[in-house]
A = this chain, B = another copy of it.
């Protein structure tokens, strides 16, 4: 709606790919160098971009700090965290918490597996929306019309042979997930990794978040992981209850 702001904001994802100099930014925006310069300067004043010693620009510290605050403001995260930790202590595997927002599913919390560590925190990273167990739960709860529109717009990358191949298959899977009230991802994203997930609901019954337990099948088979389903569901239900105002932890907060 606002051309100037639109252009300025377009710079950010561009810099997320890696540092770029003034000319590159101007080219990719399709504007004159001087225009790009002034936009970058404004972004710089707000700490959104940083100018490194070779004069190239990259994303700045304030952006990271803002995102941090944004996540801390999500009260579902705060409520859920101790439950996630407890579940991790019980089963030892990686536990994730995710939310849906405008065609994206985002991990907002994670408790690391107690088995040998790998990738560092991917908190904040958008998840593979067509295959992740948490994504299925979050999308399955969308209004029918919105869901159909979204399913059409999505890409269906074939990470593995078990990845969801296309929109009809996806919609069918979501149907199933909606009915059974939980979801799995059995090697749909990475061949050797399985997940079991359960939904977290608000007071009105709408799914506000989803949580999952993930483990490579060198540690536990898919069947063994499924044995954890009751525990995962209990944990999710406990979070739902607390989030909806039942069994208030310290101070009660009812009704949205």
Using a CB–CB cutoff of 8 Å, the interface residues on chain A facing chain B are 1-2, 4-6, 8-10, 12-13, 16-19, 38-39, 41-43, 45-48, 50, 53-54, 58-71, 73, 81, 85, 99, 101-102, 104, 106, 108-109, 117, 120-126, 256
Contacts and interface: CB of A to CB of B under 8 A. Distances in A.
A126 to B, nearest CB: 5
A68 B1 contact: no
A133 B4 CA distance: 41
Smallest CB-CB A-B distances: 10 pairs: A67-B67, A59-B70, A68-B124, A16-B69, A61-B101, A9-B46, A5-B8, A4-B4, A5-B42, A2-B42
8 contacts: A2-B8, A8-B8, A16-B70, A63-B63, A63-B70, A67-B67, A68-B123, A109-B120
B66 A12 contact: yes
Considering residues A9, A18, A45, A104, which has the most beta carbons from chain B within 10 angstroms of its beta carbon? A9
A48 to B, nearest CB: 7
Nearest to A67: B67
A101 B125 CA distance: 23
Contact of A126 (B65, B71, B256): B65
Contacts of A54: 256
A125 B65 contact: yes
Contacts of A18: 73
Given A59-B67, A59-B70, 13 more contacts: A1-B42, A2-B42, A4-B5, A5-B42, A5-B43, A9-B48, A19-B73, A50-B102, A58-B73, A59-B73, A61-B99, A61-B126, A63-B70
